[in-house]
Amino acid sequence: MKNIPILLCLILIFSCEKQSPIKNNSDSKNESNKTSKISDTAKISLQNTDEIKAEYTKINQQINAKKLDSTSFNYECNERSGIVVYYSQNGKIRSIKHSFSEYSHYSAIENYFVNNDQAFFIFKQETVWNFDGGTAEKPETKDEITEKRLYYINNKLEKCLEKKYTVRSAEKSRLSPDNIKNYESKTCPDKELMKTFSNLMSHKNKKTDCLQ
């Protein structure tokens, strides 16, 4: 009978020791989830254009699915007015969309895709429109569109592609830009766009009425 209390104590101690690994496994899962969230915005090594395409496609999908946080501001300065939208994940900027228009017949959209505060891909679309016949009651228009795609590897410009096409309001069948091939741009706006990107990054926590 004297051995019964000792036996019960041993059983209790053994039971506690068996339960402790379960708690450790739970802690391990929590740490794994934290690591996973951090890795989503950790620095990613993008070493070729295929990897760059995959990464900016993923970011676009997250934007369309509203999985990224966003903030924005409007500005108006001289002849230009525009809007800037920042998309972020876990406090890190993943994309910036800059849309603006000026001088009535010109508009542009700039999309910057960001990794570790550096742009790894930039897409710019410029549109210049003019009247193209028709009547005073029903005028027809013509849009001259230029698209440029800039790929960066290790913060250096790797490739700059361009495509141009025209969209007329009178045409019944719409042109598909995807069917138009890109070619190497001879007038790559690398320095201009990187200057704008730096300016946009400097205003991510501070809105401005005039973005130059």
Residue 5 has pLDDT above 60, yes or no: no
The residue range of the domain holding 119 is 49-124+146-165+176-201
Render pLDDT for 45-101 as a digit per residue (tens, 0 to 9).
799 999 999 999 999 999 999 999 999 999 998 889 999 999 999 999 999 999 999
Look at residue 152 and tell me if it is in a domain: yes
Q: pLDDT-derived band of residue 40, with 50, 70 and 90 as boundaries?
A: low
Residue 12 lies inside a defined structural domain of this protein: no
**Residues 136-190: tens digit of each pLDDT:** 888 888 999 999 999 999 999 999 999 999 998 888 777 788 899 999 999 999 9
Domain membership flag for residue 186: yes
Q: Identify whether 171 is part of a domain.
A: no
Taking a C-beta distance cutoff of 8 angstroms, is the pair 161, 148 a contact?
Answer: yes
Q: Is residue 91 part of a domain?
A: yes
Mean pLDDT: which of 31-40, 126-135, 141-150 is highest? 141-150
Number of domains in the chain: 1
Residue 40 located in a structural domain:
no
Tokens 């946009």, located at residue:
200
Provide the residue count of the chain.
212
Pick from 19-23, 140-144, 160-164, 201-205: least confident: 19-23
Going by their DSSP bridges, the two strands 92-102 and 106-115 should be labelled as antiparallel
pTM confidence score:
0.78
Domain assignment present for 153: yes
Residue 157 lies in a domain: yes
